[in-house]
Structure 1
Amino acid sequence: MWQTGLRKASLLTFLIASVFAISYLYFSSQAQNSASYGVPVLASGMALPDFTLIDQDLREFSLHTARGRVVLIFFGYASCPDLCPEVLSKYAVLDKMLGEKAGEVVMIFVTTDPSRDNPRALKELVSRYGGRIVALTGDWEELKDVWLRYHVVSGDVQPPATTNNYFVSHSAVVYVADRELVLRYILTPEMPVERYYEAVYSLLGR
């Protein structure tokens, strides 16, 4: 009898210890993730999906034509009040920080508000930050396909019924790809521009 009781006590002790161990590992990982916020995260190494859209100068732009240069892609919209200006400002500062290397980098802004962001509106937007940014738009179906492949949205997205009711939700990340258009970093608008520079510069040498 006492052996059975001992085995039950041992099993209970083991279960309690296991719960504590799992809890410790979980909360430790959460703390690590929190502590690493603001640091570029190495991504999976997948190739960026290709697309063809229209830029602010009414020219076709296909992503594959950027092969050989480092690429940054952010999704947003012209009337965005916070994250989009923050990223575009970082694009502008990064361009200056790169100096002669700036020509080896393509900084892309893709709209999530095609009903309002025509090429003229996008040209006005990026002109505030410098002329090197590539701002892209297109028709609803073209952009919907791009949004889905880049995980900007999920599921079936419908065009707005009126211009007063339009889709402006967007992911708050900047994709950074190497010269082969392979995703290497995911940055956020809140990160300091120095992090953007470090990520881009590390890929320029490849």
Structure 2
Amino acid sequence: MKLIGSAASPYVRKVRVVMAEKRLDYQFIVEDVWAPDTAISTSNPLGKVPCLVMEGGEAMFDSRVIVEYLDTLSPVGKLIPQQGRERAEVKTWEALADGVMDAGVLWRLEATWTGRADDERSQAWMDRQRGKVVAGIAAMAKGLGDKPFCSGIHLSLSDIAVGCALGWIDLRFPEIEWRAEHPKLVKLMDKLMLRPSFADTRP
């Protein structure tokens, strides 16, 4: 398998962490989707990463779709429950983490996209997205509570998604001091960074 992506993308990192935890072999192909000569559209018509290309050449995209598929490939380290409320809980955690990243990406694009002049940028829009990021992180802290992991006592996709989101916020928005406000999230993040899957994919 080939994984097309960016080392800084939190969505790509989520897939890479899952692949490491599942002990799956793959080739990582770095692609800048913003470059004029990007070839991502040959694999993903939406022009986004991550994109997983199978042995036969067919492509799979969207990190949520990819990680769910990867979790079925090996019984090692099951990350997503098969059914019921437990499965819905893990997928909800993933949706929360992805929502934080989605808002952060929209905020960053509004602030930095070179196709827009400074006087064309909307501070109200950026403030709205920042509010979503902050609220999402607070919801993560509340949901984690005193549990060792987001969805109980074992590592799951919930923790991987949250860890990737928080790592990206640290990278792109260091002014958001979530560590000072949410020590239990800090404890979780420190625990995740001890795992090679997280340490080796740090952006």
Q: Normalising by structure 2, what TM-score?
A: 0.28
Higher RCO (CA 8 Å, separation ≥ 6 residues): 1
Q: From the two aligned structures, give the one with the greater strand fraction.
A: 1
TM-score, normalising length from structure 1? 0.28
Higher helix content, 1 or 2: 2
Larger Rg computed on CA atoms: 1
